[in-house]
Amino acid sequence: MTTVLLTDITIFVLALLVGFEVISKVPATLHTPLMSAANSIHGIVLAGAMLIAVTAHDALGYILAFVAAAFAAMNVVGGYVVTGRMLKMFRRSRTPVADATAPAAVSGNGQAPAAGQRGGQS
């Protein structure tokens, strides 16, 4: 067993424990947004999908890179936007009915610069 592998396993186990600790404190009221937020966090696989491109030099590599990037980007962008949209609906007091289908401005805009950045650095 290599040191690298041992380090990876250590990180994995500790992250699991942190996850259990933090998430067990989330109230049942927020379980749907929590799952949606967790959903967007596993969109980090976009990083892995992008790294496929580093070594892709044939058709199979390109196809894998494209599909993986599309899947992961859908996961990450959709996840954050819908979580934001849901959380916006939770209000402390009754307020005039807002348009529930309005786009979630915060996370929606949050993702836009990311796409721009990608283009800029390339």
Partner 1 sequence: MSAFDWITQLLYVAAATCFVLGLHLMNSPATARRGNQVSTAGMILAVATTLALVAHAGTVTTTGWIVMLAGTLVGSGAGLYAARTVEMTAMPQLVSIFNAVGGGAAALVGIDDYVRLASGGIAESTTVFTILDVLIGAVTFSGSIIAAGKLQGLIDGSPITFPGSRAVNVAAAVIAVGGGIYMIATPSVVVLFIIILAALLFGVTMVLPIGGADMPVVISLLNAFTGTAVAMAGFVIGNWALIIAGALVGASGGILTKLMADAMNRSIRNIIVGGFGTGDSAPAVEGPGGDVRSIQADDAAIQLAYAQKVIIVPGYGLAAAQAQHQVAELASVLEERGVEVSYAIHPVAGRMPGHMNVLLAEANVPYPQLKEMDEINPEFPRTDVALVIGANDVTNPAARRPGNPVSGMPILDVDHAKSIIVIKRSMGHGYAGIDNELYVNPKTSMFFSDAKSALTELTAAVKTLVS
Q: Comparing C-alpha atoms, which of 64, 60, 42 is closest to residue 52? A: 64
Q: Is 91 in the site for partner 1 (CB under 8 A)?
A: yes
Q: Is 3 in the site for partner 1 (CB under 8 A)?
A: no
Q: Is 116 in the site for partner 1 (CB under 8 A)?
A: no
Query: Is-contact 104 88, C-beta < 8 A?
Result: yes
Q: Is 89 in the site for partner 1 (CB under 8 A)?
A: yes
- Least distance (Å) between residue 63 CB and partner 1: 8
Q: Comparing C-alpha atoms, which of 122, 117, 104 is closest to residue 40? A: 104
d(CA 112, CA 107): 9
* Sites for partner 1 among residues 36-65 (CB under 8 A): 36-57, 60-62, 64-65
Q: Is 105 in the site for partner 1 (CB under 8 A)?
A: no
